């Protein structure tokens, strides 16, 4: 167990402040419903479409919230982020808006669509080998050499608070929920969502959903001891994270009702439903929470269910390979 006394965990008040900072900069994304999805699950489903967020994922919320608070001299020197994709794009875009130089350390095998978008936002990209290099070491060396601030993808109070603003908007718009599900990689989105739901919809059960091959957060949750996973083989590339973090692990333990896992085959079935039936371009990681509900891994009959569709940066060249998993 981490020592909570030594770590200042974010609270709902931080989500309120983040919401004020990102207002007018981040999109207030739409909430979609589907009679077909409701009929299939015998529930009322509300899909919060962060696929339409700037940068194509919820991560812009946290990245902007973190960058806008940096002291002026740090804003001049710049930032460095290491990410498999969406965090990179988010920091790239937030830094562009704020005029902050940024270096992004990305795996050489991250989806082409994400690499290209990051470059288009004007960030300097440093590639590394996911199997042999230590990205944090690379990031820290760059930070030391150039005086850059490291912007972590999830284990940072401003990132968690920013992520929580999506669930805040969802509940504000549709009212109290019985259940709220979010994808889970490093647990920033899940932690922020749980804090928001606890404040705005007391009694709402918040569930995190991760890929079966990378079930470290589920094992951590069950055993109450931090577990990790190494380079899990899953199409949910945004949830290949090794483990929950120093902030997100205690937040998940303290505020989340349960964790669920989804195998890649089930995830692909949900992806095709979202694309074909709901016309929503969601990426695999972004569909984890939806998959748990649509593929009925969870009984939600009669419930009002919030689902965060966390991102939409699909590498369309992969679609045939994914279909082959069915
Ligand atoms: C990063 C990411 C996640 C996971 O978020 P964490 O805060 O790391 O748990 C989920 N979905 C998408 C689309 C992402 O980019």
pLDDT digits (tens, 9 = 90+) for 224-265: 999 999 889 999 988 988 899 999 999 999 999 999 999 999
Average pLDDT score, the chain: 94
- The reply to whether ligand 1 has any atom less than 6 angstroms from the CB of 188 is yes
pLDDT at 7: 77
Q: Is 214 a catalytic residue?
A: yes
pLDDT at 231: 86
DSSP bridge partners of 104: 81, 125
pLDDT at 188: 98
- The reply to whether ligand 1 has any atom less than 6 angstroms from the CB of 89 is no
How close are the terminal C-alpha atoms of the chain, in Å?
Answer: 39
Taking each helix axis as running N to C, give the angle between helix 59-67 and helix 12-22, from 0 to 180 degrees, rounded to the nearest 10. 90
Q: What architecture (CATH level 2) is domain 4-57+157-323?
A: 3-Layer(aba) Sandwich (3.40)
Phi, psi dihedral angles at 210 (to 5 degrees): -130, 165
Q: Is 216 a catalytic residue?
A: yes
Indicate the pTM of the whole model.
Answer: 0.95
Average pLDDT rounded to a whole number, residues 281-304: 98
Measured from the Cα of 163, ligand 1's closest atom is 7
Q: What is the pLDDT of residues 23-72, one digit of tens each?
A: 999 999 999 999 999 999 999 999 999 999 999 999 999 999 999 999 99
Tokens of 309: 């569709």
- Best mutation site among 91, 153, 160, 189 for ligand 1, i.e. most ligand atoms within 8 A of its Cβ? 189
| Rounded CA separation 235/253 (Å) | 26
Tell me which DSSP letter residue 278 carries. Answer: T
**Domain regions of the chain by residue span:** 4-57+157-323, 60-150
Query: Which of 3.50.50.60, 3.40.50.970, 3.90.79.10, 3.40.50.1100 is the CATH number of 60-150?
Result: 3.40.50.1100
Candidate list 14, 75, 78, 84, residue with the active-site label: 84
- The reply to whether ligand 1 has any atom less than 6 angstroms from the CB of 190 is yes
Which residue minimizes the CA distance to atom 14 of ligand 1? 238
Distance (angstroms) between ligand 1 centre and the Cα of 290 equals: 14
- The reply to whether ligand 1 has any atom less than 6 angstroms from the CB of 241 is yes
- The reply to whether ligand 1 has any atom less than 6 angstroms from the CB of 239 is yes
Measured from the Cα of 160, ligand 1's closest atom is 7
> Residue 1 above 50 pLDDT?
no
Percentage above 90 pLDDT, the chain: 81
Q: Token pair 């994922």 is at which residue? A: 57
Whether 4-57+157-323 shares its CATH topology with 60-150 is answered yes
Tokens of 14: 């931080």
Q: Is 243 a catalytic residue?
A: no
Percentage above 70 pLDDT, the chain: 98
Tokens of 195: 């804090």
Q: What is the pLDDT of residues 164-191, one digit of tens each?
A: 999 999 999 999 999 999 999 999 999 9
Q: How confident is the model at residue 130 (pLDDT cuts 50, 70, 90)?
A: confident
Whether 211 contacts 232, CB under 8 Å:
yes
| Rounded CA separation 264/320 (Å) | 14
């Amino acid at each position: 167990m981490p020592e909570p006394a030594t770590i200042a965990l974010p609270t709902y008040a931080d989500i309120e402040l983040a919401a004020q900072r990102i207002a007018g900069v981040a999109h207030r994304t739409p909430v979609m419903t589907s009679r077909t999805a409701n009929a299939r699950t015998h529930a009322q489903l509300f899909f919060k479409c962060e696929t339409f967020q700037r940068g194509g994922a919820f991560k812009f919320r946290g990245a902007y919230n973190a960058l806008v608070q940096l002291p002026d001299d740090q804003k001049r020197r710049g930032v460095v982020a290491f990410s498999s994709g969406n965090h990179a794009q988010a920091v790239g875009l937030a830094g562009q808006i704020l005029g902050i130089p940024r270096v992004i350390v990305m795996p050489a095998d991250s989806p082409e669509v994400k690499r290209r978008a990051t470059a288009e936002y004007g960030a300097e990209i440093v590639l590394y080998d996911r199997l042999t290099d230590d990205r944090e070491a690379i990031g820290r060396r760059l930070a030391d050499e150039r005086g850059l601030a490291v912007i972590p993808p999830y284990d940072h109070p401003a990132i968690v608070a920013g992520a929580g603003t999506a669930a805040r908007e969802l509940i504000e718009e549709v009212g109290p929920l019985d259940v709220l599900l979010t994808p889970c990689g490093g647990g920033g989105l899940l932690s922020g969502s749980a804090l928001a739901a606890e404040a705005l919809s007391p009694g709402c059960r918040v569930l995190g959903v991760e890929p079966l091959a990378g079930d470290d957060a589920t094992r951590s949750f069950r055993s109450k001891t931090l577990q990790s996973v190494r380079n899990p083989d899953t199409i949910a590339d945004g949830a290949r994270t090794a483990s929950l973090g120093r902030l997100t692990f205690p937040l998940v333990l303290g505020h989340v009702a349960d964790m669920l896992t989804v195998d890649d085959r089930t995830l692909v079935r949900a992806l095709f439903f979202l694309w074909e039936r709901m016309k929503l371009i969601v990426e695999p990681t972004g569909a984890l929470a939806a998959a748990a509900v649509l593929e009925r891994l969870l009984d939600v009959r009669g419930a009002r269910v919030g689902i965060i569709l966390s991102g939409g940066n699909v590498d369309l060249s992969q679609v045939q390979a994914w279909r082959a998993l069915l």
